[in-house]
Amino acid sequence: MRPEHDQAYVKRRFSRAAAGYDRLAFVQDDVMRDLFRKLPDLTGKDVLDVGCGTGRLLKEILSLGPRSLVGVDMAPGMVAQAKRALPASVRVLEADAVALPLEDATFDLVVSASSLQWCSDLAMALGEVRRVLRPGGGFRAALFSEKTLQEFFESLKAGGGGRLVSVLSRLPSIREVRRALEEADFPDAAVFSEERLVVFRDLWSLLIWLKSLGANSLGRGAFLGRGVLKAAEEYYATRYAVEGGLRVTFEVIWIEGRK
């Protein structure tokens, strides 16, 4: 079992990052747009976005003609950004995915892009998704998985920061996602993963990007000294240098289920 994320810390760091998030989140934006392209016509449907962030996916879904559209996010800064970006007809609520403040059997479709990996209890969050879906309703999601940043974690361990790898690397494996779906009574959900490669100029650029997004997992009591980072940078550059900088892997798990 992986250690739980500190949800209060997750809320604070994503709230702080909210104002500049859309400008920086190019990897998350690509995932969101790919998820959007998989959606059917939603004319007359009631749709929920779990972990809606600044409301980018909600804004795209408006073009598909839903009857109603609701977003939830646990970070108040993200909720505030979404409310500013969306028309008043879209409800945006501050709430944790593991305890949705919504009635049973309310939605025809639930979506989630690049957020479920931060849940304190993935099975509980997926159970909430099932609870708010109407019979026959659909669920489509994308989340980042354990191979994300694998080059960084390998380099950090090689540089002497191995004790912090378990603190930083908390994203679920595809096996854990499948188990959570079964626990939430989505046993027939289609699940597959893919790897996306991105190039960053150097290790410091990657770390600054993660911190600016609110996506770094360093909490209280976790500290990476410059000596460890320097050694990790040298190891990274030796093994994963490509044209333009350093290779960074992002693993995305795709889910498509139905109640």
C-beta neighbour count of 159 within 10 angstroms: 21
C-beta neighbour count of 228 within 10 angstroms: 19
Is 189 in a helix, a strand, or coil?
A: coil
Is 137 in a helix, a strand, or coil?
A: strand
Burial of 178 (0-12, 13-18, 19+ CB in 10 A): middle
Q: What is the DSSP letter of 172?
A: P
> Residue 192's pLDDT is what?
96
What does the pLDDT profile of the chain (259 residues) look like in tens digits?
344 456 787 888 899 999 999 999 999 999 999 999 999 999 999 999 999 999 999 999 999 999 999 999 999 999 999 999 999 999 999 999 999 999 999 999 999 999 999 998 999 999 999 999 999 999 999 999 999 999 999 998 898 876 666 655 678 999 999 999 999 999 899 999 999 999 999 999 998 999 899 886 544 434 567 788 899 999 999 999 999 999 999 999 999 999 9
Contacts of 142 by beta carbon, 8 Å cutoff, 6+ apart? 31, 32, 34, 35, 112, 113, 114, 252, 253, 254, 255
Give the separation between CA 52 and CA 11, rounded to whole angstroms: 13
Sign of CA dihedral 13, 16, 18, 22: negative
CATH 3.40.50.150 fits 7-147+170-198+251-258, yes or no: yes
Could you tell me where the beta strands, DSSP code E, fall in the chain?
A: 46-50, 68-73, 91-94, 107-113, 133-144, 190-200, 241-242, 245-258
pTM of the shown model: 0.92
